[in-house]
Chains A and B, each alone.
Chain A
Amino acid sequence: MTVELWVAILAGTLALAAPLVFAGIGEGFVERAGRINLGIEGMMIMGALAGVWGASLGGPLVGLLAGIAVGLVMAVAMNLVVYRLHANEIVVGLGVTMLGLGLSTYLFQLWVPSGQTNVTVPTVPRTGLGPLADIPVIGPVLFGQSPLVYLAALLLLVAWAVMRFTRFGLAVQAVGTDPASAALRGVRVERTGASALLIGGALAGLGGAVITIGTIGSFTPDITAGRGYIALAIVIMGRSRPVGIALGALLFAFLQSFALLSQSTALTLPSEVYQSIPYLVTLVVLVITSRRQLRRLYRSTKVSST
């Protein structure tokens, strides 16, 4: 394996991590508020379709906004159903995913009937950060990325700051930990939870749009390939914390990038092994973190009861 290949793999890692980071940060808010959004996969794929559609009409920025808008609309609908009509959020989440996967395929087939060439849009161009991009190895990996990657990094910081320093962040955590007490202290539980879900939906839509107009440039049905579930797993693994989410996203993206690029090299494993590794490792890490969290839970219970 040459240095160039590793540079390509690592650069690809950051590019592939961006959509997971966006969706993961959004889901982080949702889970901190004590909720779960299983519709994230459906929101991402609708965002992916809206992204290409918007970009084909008015450039990449319109595409990103279209992705955000679609995710937001779906989250508003989901919030309405789950918190006004009191439907079970897991079932509704699965329904939203089914709906998103179906609707994106339906609209795509209407937009590009089979037999016609797929619509492609120019991806967001990479922008080197001036002289930094010329540093060997580190330059192309860290500083020669698309602006979306920098945006993802910025958003991580913002999410951390919001959680840590703002009234809203505190309210979200209070609602997630103990809704009854939070309500007694004057936090509007429903509204805080709804805001978290809307942030989650908007960022899931954005994450989907980043998949299509960030790296691929076109939409195909099922293009997200479970990335929404991966985002969910990452958030649980990272305990809803920005750093944890970032690490999880980087791990999955690295394995994915490795699988994409190292197939052509001397390592002769079946291609299915490469494709499965990211999911397998995610599962393994999920097991490890669940185990650790369980131990912590036991320890705290024992302390409190004696």
Chain B
Amino acid sequence: MRSLDRQRWLLTASVVAAVLVVAGALILFAGADPLVGLQGLVEGVSSSPYRVGEVLVGAVPIGIVALTLIPALRAGVFSVGAEGQIIVGAITATGAVFAIDQLFGGAAPSVVLWPVGLLAGAAGGGAMALLPAFLAVRWRVNEILSTLLLNYLAAGFLGWTLRTWLATPEETATPQSAKLPEAAALPALIPGTRAHWGILLVIVIAVLVFLWNRSAASTRLTVFATRPKLALRLGATRSRTVYSTMLVSGLGAGVVGWIQVAGVNDRLLNSVSGGVGFSGIAVALLGGLAPIGIVLAALFFSALAAGAVGMQSATGTVPASIAEVIKGVLLIGVACIAAYQRNPAAVVRPVGTKDAADEPVVLSAEPPGTAGDHETTIGTLAEAENEGGRP
């Protein structure tokens, strides 16, 4: 165990070193001075209250997506569909807000429009998540692939929406919806910035997840990921687990869709999801599937994006897309570190130890005796590989 700890610290140090080396090399390659770049990065996140606000605003969607992904990732359900769920949530939220506002003759109060947007967004995102969950439960369609493909379908639907039924009547350069009614917009939490009340929602969700983490339901998911048959006796069937965990992530992503429309842009844009879905997974893992870790990681990711813009303007040559490269390196690094945790979450466990989850659940078809034998073999095999898989 001690050597495991040492290896983990060594790995963490080398991941940090790798990120710094990659970032430095990229900046040097762009013909700029890394120190000037670093200065730009720091200025980009802290030089004015507005910039700080931008970091907070950017952390909200990533944080919510990552927090609501915890149950799915803990259960080993790998949903990559947050992008599409955000898009659908944003569309339903925008549509519902406009519809309700019309019902009130264009003067609906905020008390009505906020919950409507929130609920409609959550419903849209949730519905979008239930589809791949259904496919995964009913026909074992790989949820990674189905959610990835659905992301493209959602993007197509958004493009069509913005040209047709939700398009603004004004002439605009980029397709967008009309501006939301004033009352539907989330007010600024910090004056002079775009930091809106949605930030408080992150804290609420983080507390809820924190409490949930200590519940029996959370433990059942962990059991489900490692020993599905035992989980079955605890009441965590495969279908219930997949449906509930994907629904939670879908609800969260849908809410993000509403927040991005009502809090940040005041209208529906093509860029509403903007890569948040993938960052969300990275942040959830970087934060170790723990609420506090995730909130910090989300702030870090957001600061990285804002800082990269600062770096671009400070150096003049370094493109802001450097942030994406660093995020990728970080995600790979996190995967390395996670493999050396004592109890890695199901999704970051090395390959070869998830065999038990892949067998078909056909309990009724098997005589009781063989079923028991079968389970022990798989259990010991998985354990043997677990031991052998570690250097």
Contacts and interface: CB of A to CB of B under 8 A. Distances in A.
Interface of A: 35, 38, 42, 81-82, 85-92, 94-103, 105-106, 109-110, 179-180, 221, 225-226, 229, 232-233, 236, 270, 272-273, 275-276, 279-280, 282-283, 286-287, 290-291, 293-294, 297-298, 301-302, 305
Given A35-B351, A99-B328, A99-B331, 4 more contacts: A88-B347, A102-B328, A110-B319, A294-B360
The B interface, classified by DSSP as helix, strand, loop or mixed, is helix
Interface residues of B, number: 64
A286 B389 contact: no
A102 B335 contact: no
B339 interface: yes
Contact of B328 (A85, A96, A221, A290): A96
A193 to B, nearest CB: 9
Interface string B347-391: 111111000000010100111001000000000010000000111
A93 B80 CA distance: 12
Contact of A305 (B148, B328, B331, B365): B365
Contacts of B319: 105-106, 109-110
Contact of B324 (A105, A179, A180, A302): A105
Contacts of A89: 351
Interface stretch (B106-114, B118-126, B155-163, B289-297): B155-163
B178 interface: no
17 contacts: A82-B351, A86-B339, A87-B335, A88-B339, A88-B347, A89-B351, A91-B281, A95-B329, A98-B331, A99-B328, A105-B321, A110-B29, A270-B163, A275-B156, A279-B153, A279-B156, A283-B150
A100 B391 CA distance: 29
Interface string B35-67: 000000000000000000000000000000000
Interface string B184-200: 00000000000000000
B149 A233 contact: yes
A81 B349 CA distance: 13
Contacts of B232: none
Interface stretch (B139-147, B205-213, B237-245, B252-260): B139-147
Given A106-B322, A273-B156, A301-B360, A88 B350 contact: yes
A90 B164 contact: no
Contact of A179 (B352, B360, B370): B352
B347 A91 contact: yes
Contacts of B321: 102, 105-106, 109, 221
B338 interface: yes
A95 B141 contact: no
B135 interface: yes
B336 interface: yes
B351 A272 contact: no
B145 A86 contact: no
A294 B139 CA distance: 7
Contacts of B26: 106
A38 B150 CA distance: 16
Interface in B203-250: none
Please list the 3 inter-chain residue pairs (A to B) with the smallest Cβ-Cβ separation, ordered nearest first: A102-B324, A99-B328, A95-B331
A276 B157 contact: yes
B145 A233 contact: yes
A91 B362 CA distance: 30
B73 to A, nearest CB: 10
A87 B339 contact: yes
B98 interface: no
B152 interface: yes
B356 to A, nearest CB: 15
B389 A86 contact: yes
A97 B151 CA distance: 16
Contacts of A301: 360, 362, 365-366
A229 B148 contact: yes
Contacts of A276: 152-153, 156-157
Interface string B65-90: 00000000000001010000000000
A9 to B, nearest CB: 20
Contacts of A87: 332, 335-336, 338-339, 348, 350
